């Protein structure tokens, strides 16, 4: 299976999310940059969320960007790369799987995680032992490619209708 992707990186540090959600979905794209971000998410056939784990979960900024968008997530696969202490961010990903299922996204099974991430990179930011991460990443990307292709074709054939 090909491992070629067109990648669009959304760094939440660069996203100016409004401070509070509007009362109804009609106002979700009204904030600064929301229409641009919504188009970028709409254009994606698959997502990879990279998250740290804090206090057994993911950061509020990740939940915020998920909540500010609705149809952009529908019928698309999402994969996860996590990092943290001894658990490598696995608990954060378990929470994200539940949230993304509610957005009508399809979380893929396999993920990439880095326990004690501060011990896994050298001074230049390169992985010290990349074998395990490379294998996990290949599996994750293969799953995203398959699900992304299948769901892309399905959305073209029959538009997805969510129940919220």
User: In this structure, are residues 38 and 9 in contact, taking their beta carbons and an 8 Å threshold?
Assistant: no
What residues of the chain score a pLDDT lower than 50? Answer: 1-3
Beta strands in the chain (DSSP E): 47-52, 77-84, 106-107, 112-115
Q: What is the structure's pLDDT at 77?
A: 97
Read off the tokens for 93.
């990903």
Residues sharing a CB contact under 8 Å with residue 132, sequence separation 6 or more, in sequence order = none
Give the Cα separation of 90 and 134 in Å (integer): 18
- Are 93 and 109 contacting, i.e. CB atoms less than 8 angstroms apart? no
Spacing of C-alpha 3 from chain mean position: 18
pLDDT value of residue 125:
87
According to the model, what pLDDT value does residue 2 have? 45
């Amino acid at each position: 299976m090909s491992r070629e992707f067109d990648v669009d990186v959304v760094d939440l540090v660069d996203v100016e999310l409004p401070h509070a959600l509007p009362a109804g979905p009609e106002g979700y794209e009204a904030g600064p940059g929301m229409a641009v971000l919504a188009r970028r998410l709409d254009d994606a056939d698959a997502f990879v969320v990279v998250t740290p784990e804090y206090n057994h979960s993911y950061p509020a900024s990740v939940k915020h960007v998920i909540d500010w968008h609705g149809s952009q997530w529908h019928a698309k696969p999402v994969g996860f790369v996590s990092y943290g202490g001894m658990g490598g961010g696995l608990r954060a990903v378990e929470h994200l799987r539940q949230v993304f299922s509610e957005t009508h996204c399809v979380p893929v099974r396999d993920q990439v995680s880095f326990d004690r991430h501060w011990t896994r990179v050298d001074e230049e930011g390169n992985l010290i032992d990349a074998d395990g991460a490379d294998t996990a990443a290949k599996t994750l990307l293969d799953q995203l490619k398959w699900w992304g292709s299948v769901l892309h074709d399905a959305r073209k054939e029959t538009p997805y209708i969510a129940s919220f």
